[in-house]
Amino acid sequence: MAQTPFRVLSKSQLTSEERARQVDLFEELTSLRDEAQGHEPGPLAADDPYVGSHWRFPPDQDITIVCSALPQDYLGSMPYTDADDPNYVDLYRFGDLDALLELYGHIRAANPTNQVRVRTSGEELQVDDYTSHLVLLGGVDWNSITAELLHRLDVPVTQLARESDDEPGGFVVEANGKTTTFSPTLRREEDREYLDEDVAHFFRAPSPLNDKRTVTICNGMYQRGTLGAVRALTDARFRHRNEKYLRRRFPDEGTFSVLCRVKVFRGAAVTPDWSTSSEDLLHEWPV
């Protein structure tokens, strides 16, 4: 007879069905506690809105957000991008500023004891940055780190670079012997093109540069797609239901990929709802 006949199994010893059931039980117990205390049922825990968030990392582990650097010919046409100008604005050199501002504040709030750095994909990245938790914003057009890591990661999704402003590019999925391309939707009115829908990619996996850390890619063909990928898990109205969807859809929580539509309404990126809007989900992996 075993000396310790009853013990708590580690997460790695549970089956996928058991891990999914564990999530459901935790949420049910949390909801019952909140109701007993007279609170509205919380998403995970009434006293900590970031419990269970994919943007919560272990304490004291560094996080590096890597953005693309705007090309010099873009910067040359913008005011306050010359370091010698008294009104110089350093952040103007970063691509995907909307996504960066949204994500940086969220990660800092969720990880108050962690060092959070922001780098461009150019020469300012240090060796130690590569082995931290990496969060990559933007795609292969300008973010060279996204391009390099996608080659090293085992994911059946690749991104087509935009050859010109008139060419929307897209994401290519290889599955079951078939190749499918998902591209943004543009419409032309009075000699102008408007973006109706972008395509966004959210990817999470152990880092190929340090398997004790993670790499997360938030990427769109246009900047509003990148913002949509970020806001899926930061928007207060949608993040809890999207987190819940991910925990049920990918109970192993190790490596997963979600390719989705991001609607654009009157110029604004609308947060994708993975949990209820199945038509917006273009491809998920692993299947």
Q: What is the amino acid identity at position 141?
A: D
Nearest to 109 by CA among 61, 66, 57, 64: 57
Q: Tell me: the pLDDT tens digits for 211-243?
A: 999 999 999 999 999 999 999 999 999 999 999
Share of the chain above pLDDT 90, in %: 54
pLDDT at 39: 46
Nearest-10 crossing angle of helices 239-249, 16-36: 150
- Phi, psi for residue 256 in degrees, rounded to 5: -160, 160
Domain boundaries, the chain: 16-43, 48-285
d(Cα 215, Cα 64) in Å, to the nearest integer?
10
- Phi, psi for residue 253 in degrees, rounded to 5: 60, 15
Q: Tell me: the pLDDT tens digits for 185-198?
A: 999 888 888 999 99
pLDDT at 208: 95
Buried-state track 123-135, b at ≥16 Cβ within 10 A, e below 16: eebeeebbebbbb
pLDDT at 41: 44
pLDDT mean values, one per 10 residues, the chain (287 residues): 60 63 63 53 59 92 93 81 87 90 97 95 86 94 89 90 75 91 92 92 96 96 96 96 93 89 96 89 93
Cβ neighbors of 3 (< 8 A, separation 6 or more) are none
pLDDT at 272: 96
Task: Please tell me the pTM assigned to this model.
Answer: 0.81
Q: Is the dihedral of CA 150, 154, 159, 160 positive or negative?
A: positive
